[in-house]
Chains A and B, each alone.
Chain A
Amino acid sequence: DAGITQSPRHKVTETGTPVTLRCHQTENHRYMYWYRQDPGHGLRLIHYSYGVKDTDKGEVSDGYSVSRSKTEDFLLTLESATSSQTSVYFCAISDWQGKGYTFGSGTRLTVV
């Protein structure tokens, strides 16, 4: 009902394999974000997008890439997953001034 969905919700993968997480919105919001949540760290920004094909790095972007080929989809890719990337990943969307944020339900990723 919030207009934002993440897939998959859970994933277990092996070290060294590529992984792509998807965030899909139906709100037509300009901004989309990927965060990771780890105990003791809160939520930290990985990458964000301010328009189609417009992206920028957050504070923990190493090892991650993103793409946004259309307004509604924002993909997060781990080119070669490592155990340190085991985390819960949240996608968020916001309107153009960033005054309101809606979060997805999260993706729990385990890298073994």
Chain B
Amino acid sequence: AQKVTQAQTEISVVEKEDVTLDCVYETRDTTYYLFWYKQPPSGELVFLIRRNSFDEQNEISGRYSWNFQKSTSSFNFTITASQVVDSAVYFCALNIKNSGGSNYKLTFGKGTLLTVNP
């Protein structure tokens, strides 16, 4: 099976706390891409990061950081010093080939609703 699991349905934190959103994936492919998207209350999907399966370097972008570990099939997302504006639904997604092996499509986890309280 090829799928993405975000076990945390909802997380609530107080502003300035650090928070980690978990993502575990399953795939038979050796080449794949992982993504994180943010969906604020306004509803649009905002791209945050893409990581390919051959690059296990962690990445930091401002208050955001991502930890990719192939050994545990995880791609976790940490927000440092959270802010109210970080309140959103966050989706992890896996780019996989179809059964014929020729076309790509994006499979999403169910999302984690993050609420940052002042």
Contacts and interface: CB of A to CB of B under 8 A. Distances in A.
Interface in A15-68: 31, 33, 35, 40-45, 48, 50, 56, 58
A34 B3 CA distance: 18
Contacts of A40: 9, 110
Nearest to B109: A42
A42 B113 CA distance: 11
Contacts, number: 56
Interface of B, helix, strand, loop or mixed by DSSP: strand
Contacts of B108: 35, 42-44
B103 A50 contact: yes
Contacts of A106: 43-44
A21 to B, nearest CB: 16
A75 interface: no
Given A42-B110, A56-B98, A98-B95, A48 B44 contact: no
Interface string A63-103: 00000000000000000000000001010101001111111
B68 interface: no
B78 to A, nearest CB: 21
B103 A48 contact: yes
Contact of B95 (A56, A58, A99): A99
Interface of B: 6, 9, 33, 35, 37, 43-45, 47, 50, 52, 91, 95, 98, 102-111
27 contacts: A31-B103, A33-B106, A40-B110, A41-B110, A42-B6, A42-B91, A42-B108, A42-B109, A42-B111, A45-B105, A45-B107, A48-B105, A50-B102, A56-B103, A92-B106, A94-B106, A98-B95, A98-B103, A98-B106, A99-B50, A99-B52, A99-B95, A101-B35, A101-B47, A103-B44, A103-B45, A105-B44
Which 8 interchain pairs have the tightest Cβ spacing? A98-B104, A42-B110, A103-B45, A43-B108, A42-B108, A50-B103, A42-B111, A98-B95
